[in-house]
Structure 1
Amino acid sequence: MTAPTELDRRWLTEAVRLREEQAGPLEDQEANRRARQQGGDLATRIETRALWLAERDGISQALRHWKQGARLALLALTLIAVLSGAGLGLAALGDGQRPVNVFWALGSLLGLNLALLLGWALGFFFAGEQGAALGRLWLWLSERFARDAKAAHLAPALLVLLQRQRLSRWLLGLLVHGLWLLAMSAALGMLLALLTARRYGFVWETTLLAPEPFIALTQTLGALPSLLGFSVPDEAMIRASGATSPSLDLARQAWASWLLGVVLVYGLLPRLLLASLCLWRWRQGRHRLTLDLDLPGHAHLRDALMPHSERLGVQDAAPEQLPQFAAGQLEAGSSGALLVGLELDEQRTWPPMLPAAITDAGVLDSRASRHKLLEQLGRFPPARLLIACDPQRSPDRGSLALLAELARNAGSTRIWLLPALAGQTLDAARLANWHEALDRLGLPHTDTSPLTWLEHGHD
């Protein structure tokens, strides 16, 4: 799995903020602790917290699904653009059985493109971030193709994040102009293919107007393409084309070159220039994206994440559904051996006789003791951790979550299910529940003393 990019990190942070804003605060004690251990300024710690929560709650996975959906949506739009452009070129010239009305052909090739380009420009300058309907269609399709319920906040989070630097107009503009660039390239390619393979005659027709407006329009439109080497029909050719289909190959070639040049200069080049401008502004502004620390979703984290005002314990009500937790282990950076008891009966003699190499961390019987030990393990993780549990107690979700979190802060962990006290008998059903729960967590457990393993690393 590749590391998230800078944009992904900001994006996930914004998605977590929107989720908490709409659904209430997440259970974040471990996330806050990891953020404090990571260090840095408030923005860095908020980002670290959000990335941990996103990974835990599946939002990071949803982002990967969303990106896959975005690629599929972009591929679908690209195919539509290419086929539409080729269709425009084919419709403009026809099958060659009849002469081509040059201005009808030009209108079908450039009319919709120029109308939507004008609409984009008006939306860009007067509607702020609300333009680019094609770009918003892409965002909608991306979410549908992702098919992940946890991706619901990703598209809004991206737009909110980009709007702070007014970047959404450039990203969506890049998409819109890029697709139109593909469409006009396909249209131009189809024109070239048809003009190469078939013989076309070109005419212009009118009932009300004199020839002079068509002559002036043809020469005006051909002025810029002529600078690129495209031919422009002279006045005699234009007048002749207004009466009958010209039979001279020179006239055919001049009209064909004029049509290609006009489509290139007024259809393709503007989209190319605008797509390049949008790409440049997007790349320039992407590196300036920062978190807005004044937002309510971020401002209230200052006390929880900054060391001088750190708070202990649970600050928020429990969510309706607890997140899934899983045990793990550190791959490096741990040393020593540690024994800790979890909510042990006061009648039990504790701790047992321990060799000098084993450190006793006492019994976790309060929220403060748990928090203190987790903070210590975050700074000084042991190579081996042995957690003693009383199997007479039920393996509730809170205890299992704590075991998983402790295991993630140690090189290797085992659970010691202690024998019954003198005069008591273990409940077989409850012991089986412990075995099942620990197996589900992936934590090794034993009913016999594992102190040899704790001291030496083997049995």
Structure 2
Amino acid sequence: MNPTFKQKLYSEVLRNIETDEPLKGSQLIEQRYSGQDLSLLEKILQRGVTLVREYKLESVIQRTLSRIQFVTVGMTVLFFLLGGLASMQAFQQSQTGVVNFYWLVTVLLGFDFLALFIWGVSMTVAAISGTSMRGPGLWVQRLVIRYFPGKAGEAGKAGEISAAQAVFSVVFSGAIGRWWLSRASHSFWLAYLCGGLLTILFMLSTRQFDFVWETTILTNQTFISVTEGLSVIPSWIGFSVPSAEQISASQLSLFDVGRGDSLRQVWASLLIGAMIVYGILPRLLLLVVSHLMISWQQNRFRLDLTRPYYIGLRERLMPAASQFGIVDPDLKKKGSTANSESVRTDIRLPEGALYAGIELNQDQPWPPAGILAEDDLGRIEDRESQERLLRRLAASGAKDLVAVVPVRRSPDRGLERLFAEIKKHTRGRLFIALSEASEKPKPMVSSNHQQPNLSRQSDWYRLAMRVGIEADAIVKMEYSGTTEQSSATSRAVRNG
């Protein structure tokens, strides 16, 4: 398993366990990482690794993955036996040693072709709709969790079950889940075909069979053409195939036992070649492709940082600590209270960026202290100001833009359209700064009592993703100080 993917899996396991309340001791770990110079994702992953090891959840996760593997191997063995039984049953239907070739091929390959068709349709529909093929996965999940082994560890029995459920939610969801179930399906049918092929070889080695064909409504030429088409690829790789004359001679009503030896050899060769070429090789190829796709999708797996859980982690792991802008030293010397107002962000914003206030509250100061007049694009409150903003962006070159919005503002469709237009006209990088007045630090609380704005922040993250803004371009901005103080500082900055 990819190491980075394993770390993300750990974080998802913790998210599932910490649904009701954080694990004990997690606050100390978060305080340790909050002061380190790491990105949000790096802090989340490091926190996950530390907590999983501290609560001895690694063995729970590994045991869950092993049980999934155990069920997969068990099903593979079962399909191998079913393939052998199906082949044996198809041969034993003939008491005289005369076997209908096409009936035998249908029994051995027909169900495989049907399953392959259903798989192709399911994968196409799931890929288009973005859903998961979780039916078989839910069956495996219930089987494993019901018989979950081992004693309760540091996280307790409920924690172990939550950890197992989190593993299943990652393994069987999204693109990873589709390709994991595909790999399992192809391994099952490959085992079925291999079991059938070995049984065929055993039956042909120990008994004598004559292969014939018959029809009621189809013409003889139809069967000859179908057989010749079936024989093309096996003949390319060296299998003996029947000629048109031998195909005609194998019709049940025309079959001559005296020519049985030569006919038996070519028909048996075609049967084995068809099993390998049309059954085993395609499944083997798809099995390899599925395995490679699982690895690729694991590398592409991303934590959904728009979830309130991860936004809550960001609140605790990325405290607002980066102060930007200019504070007038003369004001500080005079002891003025104006410079007590400051703006802090949890991510350092780029120098020389442009700033625009999007539908700010009336009591919210603008511009924030430290923003130069030439970088201030003003408040955006109506259609006229929106058009003016877009014109200035088009003429500003490749500058970054920081769009400041109140965190409690609802990101409705109108704002989504506005940000889509802003994104289109911004040549540099677009940041969304979710602003709020700073408050005293709050103790960690359970997810059922999270700060009310976590859900609203999650909505903003989803809006950003829909318009093509990266999650790490969402900035938390805290104001401290009064409106009057902020206005004084802003004037001091502009007047220089």
Aligned to 2:89: 91
After superposition, what is the alpha-carbon deviation per residue over 1:172-209, rounded to whole angstroms, capped at 9, x for unaligned? 21111122112212211221222122211111122333
Whole-angstrom distance in 2 between the partners of 1:10 and 1:115: 37
Aligned to 2:181: 172
The 1:132–1:260 alpha-carbon spacing in structure 2 relative to 1, beyond 3 Å, is: farther
The 1:132–1:86 alpha-carbon spacing in structure 2 relative to 1, beyond 3 Å, is: farther
* 8 Å Cα contact 2:172-2:180 kept in structure 1: no
RMSD, aligned α-carbons? 3.1
181-190 vs 305-314, greater mean Cα deviation: 305-314
* 8 Å Cα contact 2:112-2:189 kept in structure 1: yes
Aligned to 1:126: 125
Residue 315 of structure 1 pairs with residue 444 of structure 2: yes
**Counterpart secondary structure, 2:216:** coil
Whole-angstrom distance in 2 between the partners of 1:304 and 1:45: 10
Whole-angstrom distance in 1 between the partners of 2:118 and 2:2: 36
2:115 corresponds to which letter in structure 1?
Answer: L
**1:137 CA displacement:** 3.9
287-296 vs 48-57, greater mean Cα deviation: 48-57
After superposition, what is the alpha-carbon deviation per residue over 1:34-56, rounded to whole angstroms, capped at 9, x for unaligned? 43366522112112223333344
**1:133 CA displacement:** 4.6
**1:58 CA displacement:** 5.1
Which one of 194, 208, 227 corresponds to residue 199 of structure 1? 208
Aligned to 2:276: 264
**1:239 CA displacement:** 2.0
Which one of 244, 250, 267 corresponds to residue 241 of structure 1? 250
The 1:73–1:209 alpha-carbon spacing in structure 2 relative to 1, beyond 3 Å, is: same
Whole-angstrom distance in 1 between the partners of 2:256 and 2:209: 9
Which one of 70, 73, 76 corresponds to residue 71 of structure 2? 73
Matches for 1:53-452 after TM superposition, within 5 Å: 53-57=51-55, 59-94=57-92, 97-98=95-96, 99-128=98-127, 129-131=131-133, 133-134=135-136, 136-147=138-149, 149=157, 150-154=159-163, 157-158=166-167, 161=170, 166-242=175-251, 243=253, 244=255, 246-247=257-258, 248-306=260-318, 308=320, 314-316=443-445
**Counterpart secondary structure, 1:100:** strand
**Counterpart secondary structure, 2:250:** helix
User: TM-score scaled by structure 2?
Assistant: 0.57
Identity of aligned residues (%): 28
**1:94 CA displacement:** 2.3
2:297 corresponds to which letter in structure 1?
Answer: G
Whole-angstrom distance in 2 between the partners of 1:16 and 1:164: 17
Whole-angstrom distance in 2 between the partners of 1:176 and 1:214: 32
Aligned to 1:31: 29
The 1:279–1:224 alpha-carbon spacing in structure 2 relative to 1, beyond 3 Å, is: same
Q: In the comparison of the two structures, how many residue pairs are matched?
A: 316
1:131 corresponds to which letter in structure 2?
Answer: M
**1:288 CA displacement:** 2.5
**Counterpart secondary structure, 1:202:** strand
The 1:151–1:121 alpha-carbon spacing in structure 2 relative to 1, beyond 3 Å, is: farther
* 8 Å Cα contact 1:202-1:246 kept in structure 2: no
* 8 Å Cα contact 1:96-1:198 kept in structure 2: no
The 1:153–1:4 alpha-carbon spacing in structure 2 relative to 1, beyond 3 Å, is: farther
**1:117 CA displacement:** 0.8
The 1:290–1:191 alpha-carbon spacing in structure 2 relative to 1, beyond 3 Å, is: same
* 8 Å Cα contact 2:132-2:173 kept in structure 1: no
* 8 Å Cα contact 2:241-2:269 kept in structure 1: yes
* 8 Å Cα contact 2:87-2:196 kept in structure 1: yes
User: TM-score scaled by structure 1?
Assistant: 0.62
1:290 corresponds to which letter in structure 2?
Answer: R
Uncovered stretches (5+) of structure 2, i.e. residues with no partner: 151-156, 322-345, 347-439, 449-496
Uncovered stretches (5+) of structure 1, i.e. residues with no partner: 320-459
* 8 Å Cα contact 2:137-2:172 kept in structure 1: no
* 8 Å Cα contact 1:84-1:183 kept in structure 2: yes
After superposition, what is the alpha-carbon deviation per residue over 1:252-303, rounded to whole angstroms, capped at 9, x for unaligned? 0111011111111211122112112212222223223232322211012122
Whole-angstrom distance in 2 between the partners of 1:259 and 1:51: 54
After superposition, what is the alpha-carbon deviation per residue over 1:85-114, rounded to whole angstroms, capped at 9, x for unaligned? 211222222287431111111111011111
Whole-angstrom distance in 1 between the partners of 2:219 and 2:447: 81
Whole-angstrom distance in 2 between the partners of 1:104 and 1:95: 11
Whole-angstrom distance in 2 between the partners of 1:163 and 1:141: 14
* 8 Å Cα contact 1:83-1:186 kept in structure 2: yes
**Counterpart secondary structure, 2:15:** helix
The 1:78–1:34 alpha-carbon spacing in structure 2 relative to 1, beyond 3 Å, is: farther
Whole-angstrom distance in 2 between the partners of 1:241 and 1:318: 74
**1:135 CA displacement:** 5.0
The 1:32–1:288 alpha-carbon spacing in structure 2 relative to 1, beyond 3 Å, is: same
Aligned to 1:445: none
